[in-house]
Structure 1
Amino acid sequence: MHGEFKVPGGKLVVADLEVVDGKLSDVRVAGDFFLDPDSALDDINIALNGVSSEADTDTIARVVREALPPGAQLLGFSPEAVATTVRRALTHAAGWKDYDWQIIHGEPLAPAVQLALDEVLTTAVGEGRRKPTLRIWEWASPAVILGSFQSLRNEVDREKAAKYGVEVVRRISGGGAMFVEPESAITYSLYVPGELVQGLSFADSYAFLDEWVLEALRALGIEAVYKPLNDITSPHGKIGGAAQKRLGSGAVLHHVTMSYDMDAQKMVKVLRIGREKLSDKGTTSAQKRVDPLRSQTGLSRQEIISYMLKTFVELHGGTASEVTPEEYEEAERLAEQKFSTEKWLRRVP
């Protein structure tokens, strides 16, 4: 069995092992990490032999930690990373390069159609009708996109939204509200088979699926890091946030919105951002939470998107693709019947 795990912001960890009578056997941990003393790697491998194949990541990490000699230095990885890699080997998790990735950078669409496409394309990947896909969104109009479980009345001032021509919609994933305007944000979705995140905790899968974009941002000079659970941030402030939905078909929807040149004053008029949320983020004003990519890179929005796509292809491969006419038709129908309705919007009043 073979498993790999790229530590977010760290190094690659690899585990090869066998299972004999329900126990780990012939465990060989490797990777491009740094470890001192060298002999600690043998200590890790020896300790993992005989561990139950049903052990969870916490148990495996504890075994690794207890096997380390006093003063051992682990750089670019951790006992938890080794545990995650072992679990990915045991669950036959797939790697990025096991798939023929499709890349879509589509035309501007209405917010409800965009959300419907997310559901349609994720379902198609889960049912094997579409290969795993990365899609860059283009917004046709301003919008507030609520998380699946957010209260409409608590989050949005609908009168102000109507005044500024901001459509209010609700997505199928959880998380917080997003405020977007055309050309002001960079939004992308990943539609992935469940096997790609096999062996990862729900929390770990967020950073795992966004590691490629962090690498792109760092190459552009942004000190981007992942702040659990779902924020992409830098020393200058928050850049964006992620959300996920796992469908019954087994596929995972992972989407992210990053601010490029956000109108913060309009955002705080439309969104009801409470004091507790601002305090939780360690700021005193909503404007300070929005740190546009333009101010940190000096690049155009399209230049940043192009570099993101270039980075993804270099790391994982990818072929240019399009939404099919059938997928568009299904999305438009779903937008009309679900995402544009007051019933869906008010599912949490």
Structure 2
Amino acid sequence: MHGEYKVPGGKLVVVDLEVEDGVLREVRVAGDFFLEPDEAILAIDGALEGAPASTDAAGLAARITAALPESAVMLGLTAEGVGIAVRRALAHATEWSDYDWQLIHEPPQSPALHMALDEVITTEVAAGRRPPTLRVWEWDSPAVIIGSFQSLRNEVDPGGVERHGVTVVRRVSGGGAMFVEPGNTITYSLSVPEALVSGLSFADSYAYLDDWVLGALGDMGIRAWYQPLNDIATEAGKIAGAAQKRMVGPDGGPGAVLHHVTMSYDIDADKMLDVLRIGKEKLSDKGTQSAKKRVDPLRRQTGLAREQVIENMIASFRNRYGLTGGEVTAEEMARAETLVRTKFATDEWIARVP
């Protein structure tokens, strides 16, 4: 069995192993990490040898930590990362390069249609009728997108929404509210087979699916990192937030994961504060006194036009994993438009948590 895991902000860990009589055998850990002294790698292999195959990633990490000499130094590597790589091997997880990725980047669409397209495309990936897909959104109007479980009245100021002509929609994933305007945000979705995140905890999957965009930002001179549970941050502040939804496959079989991210390019913070009800409690764990400081536009950090930032991100993904151009099919669009009418544009859905 073979498993790979890219440690967030670190290096690739590769594990090859066998399972005999319910325990790990012939365990070999490798990768492009740094480890001192040399014999520490043998200690890691030895710690995993004979471990019950049912041991979770935390338990495997504990075995490794206990076996390492006090002088051991790991750079780009963590005991937890090795444990995750083992679990991915046992789960027969796939890798990014196993797939033929498709790009969808179409003209501006309505907020409700974007919500529906996320559901339709991810459902198609789960059913095996569509390849894993990177979809870059373009907005035709300003919007507030609230999380699946958020209270409408607690998150949105109706007066501000009316003053600024903002559309309110609710997405299928959890997480917090987002304020977007055409040209001021960069939003994308990844619709991926569940096998890509096999062996990862829900929290670990966020970091794993965000890793490519951290590399893309690095190519543009921005040192960014994953900030648990669902943020991307830089030294200057938060620049993006992610959310996920797991969708079951046909007949309850393996499904797909929807992972979507909204990045701040040039947010009008005053307008955002007039539209969203951002409480002191929400800001308290961010170490800031105002919501303005939480929004750090990519425009200032890159000095690039929004279109150029998107082009660079797409190029980075293509260079890493391959990417061919595609489009929403006529059938997918028809289903999405039906979902807009019957679900995403209805008061029943938008106010399902009043």
The alpha-carbon deviation at position 223 of structure 1 amounts to: 1.4
Question: Is 2:331 aligned against 1:326?
Answer: yes
Question: Is 2:23 aligned against 1:18?
Answer: no
Partners of 2:240 and 2:129 in 1: CA distance = 30
After TM superposition, the score normalised by the length of structure 2 is 0.98
Query: 2:229 is matched with which residue?
Result: 229
User: Secondary structure of 1:71's partner?
Assistant: coil
Partners of 1:25 and 1:55 in 2: CA distance = 14
User: Secondary structure of 1:239's partner?
Assistant: strand
Partners of 1:200 and 1:156 in 2: CA distance = 34
Q: Please tell me the residue identity of whatever aligns with 2:319.
A: E
Question: Is 2:61 aligned against 1:61?
Answer: yes
Query: 2:303 is matched with which residue?
Result: 298
Q: Deviations over 1:155-188 (max 9, x none)?
A: 0011210111000000000000000000000000
Question: Is 2:45 aligned against 1:40?
Answer: no
The alpha-carbon deviation at position 221 of structure 1 amounts to: 1.0
User: Secondary structure of 2:131's partner?
Assistant: coil
Partners of 2:4 and 2:344 in 1: CA distance = 38
Q: How many residues align?
A: 349
Q: Please tell me the residue identity of whatever aligns with 2:78.
A: S
Q: Aligned ranges for residues 1-349 of structure 1 at < 5 Å?
A: 1-249=1-249, 250-349=255-354
Q: Deviations over 1:116-165 (max 9, x none)?
A: 00000000000011010000000010000000000000000112101110
Q: Please tell me the residue identity of whatever aligns with 2:189.
A: S
The alpha-carbon deviation at position 280 of structure 1 amounts to: 1.5
Q: Please tell me the residue identity of whatever aligns with 2:129.
A: R
Query: 2:252 is matched with which residue?
Result: none
Q: Please tell me the residue identity of whatever aligns with 1:220.
A: M
Q: Please tell me the residue identity of whatever aligns with 1:255.
A: H
Partners of 1:261 and 1:47 in 2: CA distance = 49
Q: Please tell me the residue identity of whatever aligns with 1:107.
A: P
Aligned-pair Cα RMSD in Å: 0.6
Partners of 1:149 and 1:47 in 2: CA distance = 42
The alpha-carbon deviation at position 238 of structure 1 amounts to: 0.7
Partners of 2:134 and 2:8 in 1: CA distance = 19
User: Secondary structure of 1:173's partner?
Assistant: coil
Q: Please tell me the residue identity of whatever aligns with 2:104.
A: I
Stretches of structure 1 that go unaligned for 5 or more consecutive residues are: none
The alpha-carbon deviation at position 74 of structure 1 amounts to: 0.4
User: Secondary structure of 2:16's partner?
Assistant: strand
Partners of 1:280 and 1:78 in 2: CA distance = 26
User: Secondary structure of 2:281's partner?
Assistant: helix
Q: Which runs of 4+ in 1 moved over 2 A?
A: none
User: Secondary structure of 1:51's partner?
Assistant: coil
The alpha-carbon deviation at position 219 of structure 1 amounts to: 1.4
Partners of 1:137 and 1:186 in 2: CA distance = 7
Partners of 1:252 and 1:157 in 2: CA distance = 31
Partners of 2:258 and 2:327 in 1: CA distance = 18
Q: Please tell me the residue identity of whatever aligns with 2:111.
A: P
Q: Deviations over 1:281-329 (max 9, x none)?
A: 1111111111100000000001000110111011111111111111111
Q: Deviations over 1:204-227 (max 9, x none)?
A: 100100101000111111111110
Stretch of structure 1 that moved more, 166-175 or 219-228:
219-228
Partners of 1:130 and 1:278 in 2: CA distance = 40
After TM superposition, the score normalised by the length of structure 1 is 0.99
The alpha-carbon deviation at position 248 of structure 1 amounts to: 1.6
User: Secondary structure of 1:14's partner?
Assistant: strand
Stretches of structure 2 that go unaligned for 5 or more consecutive residues are: 250-254
